[in-house]
A and B are shown apart, each in its own frame.
Chain A
Amino acid sequence: MSEHSAEEVKKHVRVYVAVFAALAVLTVVTVAVSYLDLPTSTAIALALLIATVKASLVALYFMHLISEQKAIVCLLGLTASFFLVCMYVPGKWTTNTIKVGSVWDNAVPAAHVEAGHDGDGDHGDDGHH
C-alpha cells in the first residue's frame, strides 16, 4: 500500500521480529501450562486466553490491522459478531439435549485401544460399553 514507505517498512521489520519472539514464547508457555494438570475449566480458559493473545498479535501486526482502513475493520467487526453467535449457540446445549445414541459411546478411544480393539471400526454400533 502507498501508506507504507520504505522508511516505515524498515521500522516494521523490528516489530515483526519482536512479535515472532512473543509468539514463540507464548507457544512454549501454552505447552508448559498443559503439563501442569490444572482443573479442566481453568486449563481451557488459560489455553484460549493465550491463543487469543497470539492470534491478536498475528492479526494486528502481520496482517496490519493495527493501521488498517475503517472499511476493513468494520467488515471484520461484523464477521466477529457472527462468529460469536456461532460460538454461543452450542453453549446453550447440554448433554441431555443432544445425546445421539451410539455415536457418543465411541467417545473414549483410549479405553477402546487398551481393551484390545484394533480400531477396525465395527465396535460400538449396538450402543453399549
Chain B
Amino acid sequence: MEIPHVTEAHADTGVINGKLGVWLFLASEVMLFGALFSSYVILRIGSPAWPEGASLLNVPLATLNTMVLITSSVTMVMAWASLKMNDFGKYKSYMGVTILLAFVFLVVKYFEYTAKFDHGLYPSTNTFLAIYFTMTGLHALHIIGGIVVNGYLLGPGSKLWETNPEQLANRVEGAGLYWHFVDLVWIFLFPILYLL
C-alpha cells in the first residue's frame, strides 16, 4: 500500500500528511515539557530558598552549548534548503555538520554532568539539581533521538533522492521541525536553569 499525501498537500489540511503528523507530535511534546516547566515553577515558588544557577552550574559551557544548538538549527534548515535547490552534495555536508554539532552538544553535556558528580552533586542532592537533571536529561534524550533520525536521513534514507527527491526534502523538513523544537526547548532551559 502506498502512503498517501507524501508530496501532494491533503485538500482538508493544506499540508502533506507527514508535516501534520510531526506538528501533532510536537504539540504533545509542548505539553510534556510544559508539565516540567510548570513543575519547575511550583518547586521554585514552594522553596524557602533557591540557588542561583551560576553558583552550581557552568554558565560558559552552557553558553557554548546554546551557540552549538543554534548553529545546528541553521545547518539543519540549510540542509533542507540545499535539497530544494537541487544540491545533494551540499545537503550531505550540512546534514553531516548538524549531526556533528549534536554530538558536540552531548560531549559538552557529558563533561558538565561528570563535573557535577565529581563534586558529589546528584539529582538527589537537592530540589534544584533534581529538576535540573530531569529537564536537561530529557532534553539530552531528544538530542539523541534527533541524531538517530538525522543519521538515517543522511545514510540509508538519502537513497530516496534518486527515486523521489521531493519526498526526501519533505522528510528532511519534518526532521528539521523536530530539531528546531529541541533547540527551542533549550532556549528556555538555558536561562531558567543557568542564569536565574
Contacts and interface: CB of A to CB of B under 8 A. Distances in A.
A69 B59 CA distance: 39
Contact of B45 (A59, A95, A100): A95
B125 A119 contact: yes
Contact size range, B: 35 or more
A50 B191 contact: yes
B127 A106 contact: yes
Contacts of A27: 63, 66-67, 70
B191 A47 contact: yes
Contacts of B39: 90
A94 B45 contact: yes
B140 interface: no
* Interface of B (DSSP majority class): helix
Nearest to A49: B191
B129 to A, nearest CB: 6
A75 B76 CA distance: 24
B184 interface: yes
Nearest to B40: A90
Given A71-B20, A87-B41, A110-B55, 20 more contacts: A17-B74, A27-B67, A31-B59, A34-B54, A62-B180, A70-B14, A71-B13, A76-B27, A87-B34, A91-B41, A95-B45, A95-B47, A106-B125, A106-B127, A107-B49, A108-B49, A109-B126, A110-B51, A113-B120, A119-B125
10 contacts: A34-B191, A48-B191, A51-B190, A62-B183, A71-B20, A75-B24, A83-B31, A86-B34, A95-B45, A104-B127
Interface of A: 1-2, 4, 6, 9-10, 12-13, 16-17, 19-20, 23-24, 27, 30-31, 34, 40, 43-44, 47-48, 50-51, 54-55, 58-59, 62-63, 68-72, 75-76, 78-80, 82-83, 86-87, 89-91, 93-95, 98-100, 103-110, 112-113, 117-121
